[in-house]
Amino acid sequence: MTSLPSIPTPKRLGLVIDLDVCVGCHACVISCKEWNTGGYGAALSDQNPYGLDVSGTFLNRIHSFEVIPEGGEVIGEAGEARIVHFPKSCLHCDDAPCVTVCPTGASYKRGEDGIVLVEEDKCIGCGLCAWACPYGAREMDLAAGVMKKCTLCIDRIYNETLQEVDRVPSCVRTCPANARHFGDLGDPTSDVSIMVAERGGMDLMPEQGTRPVNKYLPPRPRTPLAANADGLGSVEETSGATGFFGWLDNMLDRI
């Protein structure tokens, strides 16, 4: 059934991604691909894997952005341009447009924990859900012909044969910088909810009306480079000059 759960889900499982911490190493991309190609559903295929135009299905991709403040093109003047590494996967939206467009009932949002999943045996591979998602979270697997997406590692998080420390999504478990966190965002006392509240966690594209569960923590403000460069900002200030240079400063001012 592709109608969304009629009542708010008791748990809202999701990820919190710290853009201040992510170093863009792509380890989560690889561990996601590794885990999900052997776990739930069809394998994540690659096309032409040893050729020049290699491509494949990924449930998690890292973009890197350059963010330039107004007038920040020159280092040291008005703030600086900075690089933000940006992991992107399914946000498990409360108002998931990918679910309601599905004509077959293959796409659904679980009533108990809010995870958005695809029942691959029902998927006809029409691709409309990938069109409906503004975030590009769904990718068609070209070998299996079914839509693939992040399952929040549903085959890990409830898997009691794994050690407790491993019962988190593969990307979270593998992140060497601890930039990814997993938890219940519907519970205001959970670690992830507290983190979101303290750091001003944000939604991506709130104007799309999808109400994502996953939150992103913005990069912390940085001390501008100029503040650390001793004297760099004070070259115009000469009132403290004494002796010969004081006299020279005085004379140059008069000319």
Partner 1 sequence: MHPALSIIAFTTLSGFGYGLAAVLGLGLLDASAMSTKAAHILALGLIAVGLMSSTLHLRNPQRAWRAISQWRSSWLSREGLLAVLTFIPLIWSAWGAIIESRYLPVPGLFGTVGAIATVFCTGMIYASLRSVQAWYTPQTPLCFLLFAGAGGLNLATLAAIFNAGDVYILGLSAAAATAFAWIAKSAWRRRMLTAPPISTPETATGLAAIGRVRLWERPHSNENYLTREMGYRIARKHAEKLARISFTLGGAATVLLLLSTALFWATASSLAIIAAVVAVLCQTVGQFVERWLFFAEARHAVMNYY
- Is residue 207 near partner 1 by the rule CB under 8 A? yes
C-beta atoms surrounding 203 within 10 Å: 16
Q: How far is the CB of 119 from partner 1 (least distance, A)?
A: 10
Q: How far apart are CA 226 and CA 80, in angstroms?
A: 10
DSSP secondary structure, 116-183, as one string = EEE-GGG-----HHHHH-TT---EEETTTTEEE----SHHHHT-TTS-GGG-S-HHHHH-TT--EEEE
Q: How far is the CB of 212 from partner 1 (least distance, A)?
A: 11
Backbone angles phi, psi at 107, to 5 degrees: -90, 135
Identity of the residue, 205 or 248, whose beta carbon is nearer to partner 1 in the bound complex:
205
Given 75, 205, 232, 248, the residue binding partner 1 (CB under 8 A): 205
- Is residue 81 near partner 1 by the rule CB under 8 A? yes
Contacts 24+ apart (CB under 8 A), 226-233: 226/76, 226/77, 229/76, 232/76
- Is residue 193 near partner 1 by the rule CB under 8 A? no
- Is residue 127 near partner 1 by the rule CB under 8 A? yes
Q: How far is the CB of 24 from partner 1 (least distance, A)?
A: 8
Identity of the residue, 142 or 229, whose beta carbon is nearer to partner 1 in the bound complex:
142
Q: How far is the CB of 155 from partner 1 (least distance, A)?
A: 23
Q: Which residues contact 49 (CB under 8 A, 6 or more apart)?
A: 56
- Is residue 65 near partner 1 by the rule CB under 8 A? yes
Q: Which residues bind partner 1 (CB under 8 A)?
A: 1-3, 19, 24, 29, 53-58, 61-70, 72, 79, 81-84, 86, 88, 97, 99-106, 122-128, 130-136, 139-140, 142, 145-146, 202-209, 216, 218-219
